[in-house]
């Protein structure tokens, strides 16, 4: 007849109540450590991928705003600095200012989700470089613009504001002509820093004149994987 619990021999009760040994605890901790070493990198990759997808969505939205601008301005690209200037009063100029009637300056779409550069791009108002704003200063554009402006110097009916508008329109036409040659080959907006690590690469995200978006590719590469 089995003993009631309170009458079982002491040795038997002690054996039944025995906990984990130190060796067993170390083994469990080791297994947990191995699992974490496998899971954490995977979670980090998922997070980076989500940030990259969200960044590309931002670029797509900003491309739409640029297209709205072009539809109201004779199909010309905005001509402005490639990044806003960071001032004590906040960002000034750049695409953020040009598109303010379409996209508010505090819109989250101006910032890459992986951007944590508080004193740099965030302080400047956007994570993204406006490439036509760089190309406008290229020698092949400025030489032609200077020639055009020189030809109109004798026109007294043009005031300073009109001349500046004429200069920007000339720059827009010349830069736009470069893009029109291959709309899928030249990015109009890119990440200002490498933020989206894929394996051993750190590609920048970019959106192209034709609306395709994805990792920045070399000019002449076929678009793919961007959407």
pLDDT more than 70, % of the chain: 81
Is 3 within a domain?
no
Inside any domain, residue 224: no
Q: How far apart are CA 19 and CA 105, in angstroms?
A: 61
pTM of the full structure? 0.76
Residue 186 lies in a domain: yes
Closest CA to 187 of 96, 72, 39, 63: 63
Rg of the chain taking only CA atoms, in angstroms: 30
Find the domain containing 168 and state its range. 9-215
Q: Tell me: pLDDT of 219 over 70.
A: no
Angstrom distances, CA of residue 175 to CA of 65, 96, 99, 124, 136: 18, 19, 18, 24, 6
27 in any annotated domain: yes
User: How many structural domains comprise the chain?
Assistant: 1
- Please check whether residue 223 lies inside any domain of the structure: no
Report how far apart, in Å, the C-alpha atoms of 195 and of each of 33, 45, 75, 97, 227 are: 28, 12, 32, 25, 20
Could you tell me if residue 72 is inside a domain? yes
Name, in order, each residue with C-beta under 8 angstroms of 213's C-beta and a sequence gap of 6 or more.
56, 59, 60, 63, 205, 206, 207, 226, 227
- Which pLDDT score, from 0 to 100, does residue 222 have? 52
For position 49, what pLDDT does the model report?
86
User: Is 70 within the bounds of a domain?
Assistant: yes
Q: How many angstroms separate the CA atoms of 97 and 90, rounded?
A: 12
Report how far residue 76's alpha carbon sits from residue 72's, in angstroms, rounded to the nearest whole number. 9
pLDDT tens across 39-72, in order?
A: 666 566 778 888 899 999 999 999 999 999 999 9
Q: Is residue 36 part of a domain?
A: yes
């Amino acid at each position: 007849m089995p003993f009631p619990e309170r009458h079982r021999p002491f040795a038997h009760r002690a054996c039944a109540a025995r906990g984990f040994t130190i060796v067993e605890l170390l083994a469990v901790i080791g297994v947990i450590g191995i699992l974490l070493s496998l899971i954490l990198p995977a979670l980090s990759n998922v997070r980076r991928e989500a940030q990259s997808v969200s960044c590309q969505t931002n670029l797509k939205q900003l491309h739409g705003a640029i297209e709205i601008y072009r539809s109201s301005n004779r199909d010309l690209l905005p001509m402005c600095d490639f990044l806003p200037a960071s001032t004590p009063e906040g960002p000034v100029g750049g695409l953020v200012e040009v598109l303010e009637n379409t996209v508010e300056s505090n819109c989250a779409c101006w910032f890459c989700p992986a951007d944590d550069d508080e004193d740099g791009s965030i302080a400047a108002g956007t994570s993204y470089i406006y490439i036509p704003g760089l190309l406008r200063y290229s020698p092949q554009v400025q030489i032609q613009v200077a020639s055009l402006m020189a030809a109109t110097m004798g026109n007294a009916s043009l005031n300073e504001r009109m001349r500046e508008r004429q200069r920007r329109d000339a720059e827009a036409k010349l830069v736009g002509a470069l893009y029109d040659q291959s709309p899928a080959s030249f990015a109009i907006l890119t990440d200002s820093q490498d933020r989206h690590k894929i394996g051993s690469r750190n590609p920048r995200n970019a959106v192209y004149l034709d609306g395709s978006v994805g990792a920045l590719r070399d000019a002449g590469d076929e678009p793919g994987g961007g959407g």
